[in-house]
Structure 1
Amino acid sequence: MRKILIPLFSVALLTSCGTAKVANDGKSATDSSPKISSKAEKAFQAAYQTISAEDLKKNLYVIASDEMGGRDTGSPGQKKAGEYMINFYKDLGISYPKALGSYYQKVPADFMKKRGGGNLPDSENILAFIEGSEKPEEIIVVSAHYDHVGTRNGVVYNGADDDGSGTVGVMEIAKAFQAAKKAGNGPKRSILFLHVTGEEHGLFGSEFYTDNPVFPLANTVVDLNIDMIGRDDPENRGKQYVYVIGSEMLSSQLKVINEAANKKTNNLELNYKYDDPADPQRLYYRSDHYNFAKNNVPVAFFFDGIHEDYHKPTDDVEKIDYALLQKRTQLVFTTAWDIANSPERIVVDKK
């Protein structure tokens, strides 16, 4: 999540980071899982159950390790983290958008510099893609930024929650959709797994993508953005919750779909405290979903709040609540699943 203060009269380019029923140990609780009454629900349930706390932890211990050097934009450590993610997708058999030609979308240094990025080097967005079976031209975006703030005075800022948690969440969601596809139950609409760079410096990667979309924004149904979903904030200490921001800003249906997905799965407390563009924290503008929203694409931003280790070198993997990370990841997956497989595309009926 980007930490910048901008006057309220300007566009705030800050950043931030945000389930079936699951037992406290991170294992599935069968008796509280969604009811199975049809082939479609069985397919959902099988995919949903592949999202595990153990795999989230395994991947996060790599992504947020000292070896990655804090993943600053364009740094060797960030590139190494990106290579790990790409190998993860290759192992699953998930490819990249054909039009792109690789998993990488280059974000040039000049693009970032013109937007206040100083002397940042060239960097890359990473894109993985599962084509829809019935409406492949319609795109669901599941996004997270994989950069953090790097190493300062010899101390690595690992960014386990910000946004290592969102990064591994997107990876697990991709794994679940791919499992469904291999079982003959792939999504009807296409899913783009978008890992963006440069968020901490100014939402640069997502801005570059929306300025240079691989798929037309007119065909982009929704962006579900995950930025910090592995911790709790002081206000919600010990609660089973997640902040949801922006879900009814552009579509009257998205919030309804997300709430229904939550009720049939882990039934987290959906906290709408920051779900207001005029909120003093300005969180609606502070992560990568905003670059989709300003292009009239419905968004939902999932976030755990500002905790005591935010943007500090103490944001480490040992402090992540992996069972809660699993539940929040499952909520985003379920929301994406329902939107991807709905008979009709969700409406854009608000301004």
Structure 2
Amino acid sequence: MRKITYALGLIVAFGLLAQDKTALKFAKTITSEDLKEHLSILASDEYEGRETGTKGQKMAAEYIANHFKSLGFEAPVEGSYFQKFNLTESSIGSVYFRKGDEKKMGFEDFVYYSSAETSGEEYITIVLADEDKEDGYDGNYVLFSAEKLGGMQEKAEQATAAGAKGVIIMLEDDTEFESFITRYSPYLQRPSLRAKARDNEATKLVIGDQAMIEWMFGKPFAEIKGNESAQIIFNADYLDKPVETENVLGYLKGSEMPDELLIVTAHYDHVGIIGGEIHNGADDDGSGTVTVLEIAEAFSEAMKKKKGPKRSVLFMTVTGEEKGLLGSLYYTDTDPVFPLENTVANLNIDMVGRIDDAHAENPDYVYVIGSDKLSTELHELSENVNKTYTNLDLDYTYNDENDPNRFYYRSDHYNFAKNNIPIIFYFNGTHPDYHQPTDTIEKIAFDTMEKRARLVFHTAWEIANRAERIKVD
């Protein structure tokens, strides 16, 4: 009996050792040179910043699909690599306040921050915010005064809860207002994409300066009393049209537990051309996209050598992340190609090509977010894989529940997490080139990116090959 047990022990040990060597072998196919080759294409000017629904995004989708096809992956969407869906593009039209023949124009004299439009010109009543007002605001627009915008969101929400139809924030500091309107007007005037129709009952938010408020009330701000109101005409128009876009999916069927699925994601869209400048999005999220392509290739090489994973793996690059996590939302909430209850985990890669200031002296790091939110096992697996293979500094700074950046809620993994699917989000931290035309390939640290990609590969390999699926606890 002992001899049999000992022999079985040797077989098990040998099997685990062989699996480790297999993982190492295929991890080595992930190289900084290959990552750079892919990224040099996807983050080039030719792709025009890959904005959702544009020519550049379509070109990127074709590139990714062709890569999946070359790897021999199945096309899981009724024989296609593309999961197509429609979004609604809303372009803001004429926004203004009118008083007689005089107008104050949106994005010149004030900023309009809302998806709601008026039904033509509407008479509105503006009242000063009153914290002691017990009977609510009855559809009025509520006026707040503030030195800076920070902290105003809570007050705006309180006013809305008390019945306000709109909120006007007057910035007392003219320099602060000028800086705000200059910085944000170009973004807010660009067409926006949404998964659902606009909600015209949504709160209408206006941010203006003291001069505009005094024009509305016809007197200096200091003379406006709490029981006074101003009546004025307001107009906000939108033009809506459908826009077709697509997630790109490549499927590798598992050898022993094909019904159980690991999903590896990154978003391949970016913000396009703003003010005539191409925003290439090399780090955000070209880096994550090409990391998925390289991990997919490593799994493909294993498949060719008859060493493919026991569980199925779906490699999915999603669109619409920059517009509100819309591509992953479509997959999880509208058309999960594979049942969510069979999805064991999601590994999401969003910005892994740069070194932030906090790690300038030690570039061998990655921020890990969410690994312990739903599964103790996943967190421990992640830690053990890193210790065994990559020895990166796993930084959990942004995993803190109280972190003001709230990154856990800001990338595509969240749509899986909200469905009780364990996730890990890999991230390099912030930098001054975020959403700027300066987020270019020349600033990518490919050697560090290679190490991060291998960490994700080893984690995916372990999840896909372990005996039991990751437990949710």
Normalising by structure 2, we get a TM-score of 0.64
Match of 1:222 in 2: 345
Q: Deviations over 1:71-119 (max 9, x none)?
A: 000110010011111111222222222x532000012124934176975
5 Å-filtered alignment, 1:230-309, equals 230-239=353-362, 240-309=364-433
Residues 1:116 and 1:315: Cα distance change in structure 2 (over 3 Å): farther
Match of 1:201 in 2: 323
Aligned match for 2:286, one of 157, 164, 178: 164
What count of residue pairs does the alignment treat as equivalent?
Answer: 314
Q: Deviations over 1:317-349 (max 9, x none)?
A: 011000001000000000000010000001001
2:86–2:242 contact (8 Å) kept in structure 1: no
Residues 1:120 and 1:269: Cα distance change in structure 2 (over 3 Å): farther
Q: Which moved more, 1:126-135 or 1:277-286?
A: 277-286
CA RMSD of aligned residues (A): 1.8
Residues 1:272 and 1:96: Cα distance change in structure 2 (over 3 Å): same
Report deviation, 1:136. 0.4
1:74–1:120 contact (8 Å) kept in structure 2: no
Q: Larger RCO: Structure 1 or Structure 2 (Cα < 8 Å, ≥ 6 residues apart)? A: 1
1:114 aligns with 2:177: no
Distance 2:459 2:197 in 1: 33
Report deviation, 1:39. 2.3
Q: Which amino acid aligns with 2:400?
A: D
Residues 1:120 and 1:54: Cα distance change in structure 2 (over 3 Å): farther
Q: Which moved more, 1:103-112 or 1:239-248?
A: 103-112
Q: Secondary structure at the match of 2:50?
A: coil
Report deviation, 1:276. 2.6
2:350–2:427 contact (8 Å) kept in structure 1: yes
Distance 1:138 1:215 in 2: 9
Residues 1:120 and 1:278: Cα distance change in structure 2 (over 3 Å): farther
Q: Secondary structure at the match of 2:248?
A: strand
Residues 1:260 and 1:70: Cα distance change in structure 2 (over 3 Å): same
Instruction: Give the unaligned 5+ runs of structure 2.
Output: 1-14, 89-192, 200-239
Q: Which amino acid aligns with 2:471?
A: V
1:241–1:270 contact (8 Å) kept in structure 2: yes
Distance 2:422 2:17 in 1: 29
Q: Which amino acid aligns with 2:356?
A: D
Distance 2:400 2:276 in 1: 38
Match of 1:47 in 2: 26
Q: Which amino acid aligns with 1:70?
A: G
Runs of 4+ in 1 over 2 A off after TM superposition: 36-39, 110-113, 115-120
Distance 2:254 2:315 in 1: 13
Residues 1:130 and 1:116: Cα distance change in structure 2 (over 3 Å): farther
2:27–2:298 contact (8 Å) kept in structure 1: yes
Distance 1:66 1:119 in 2: 27
1:188 aligns with 2:166: no
Q: Secondary structure at the match of 1:270?
A: strand
1:160–1:317 contact (8 Å) kept in structure 2: yes
2:65–2:82 contact (8 Å) kept in structure 1: no
Aligned match for 2:81, one of 92, 103, 118: 103
Distance 1:294 1:160 in 2: 28
Larger Rg over CA atoms: 2
Match of 2:202 in 1: none
Q: Deviations over 1:236-295 (max 9, x none)?
A: 224210000000100011111011111111200000001033311101000000000000
Match of 2:57 in 1: 78
Distance 2:342 2:442 in 1: 40
Distance 1:238 1:60 in 2: 25
Distance 2:52 2:401 in 1: 27
1:142–1:192 contact (8 Å) kept in structure 2: yes
Distance 1:116 1:318 in 2: 39
Q: Secondary structure at the match of 1:213?
A: coil
Distance 1:74 1:286 in 2: 21
Distance 1:299 1:287 in 2: 11
Match of 1:337 in 2: 461
Report deviation, 1:120. 6.7
Normalising by structure 1, we get a TM-score of 0.86
Q: Deviations over 1:48-67 (max 9, x none)?
A: 11001100000000010000
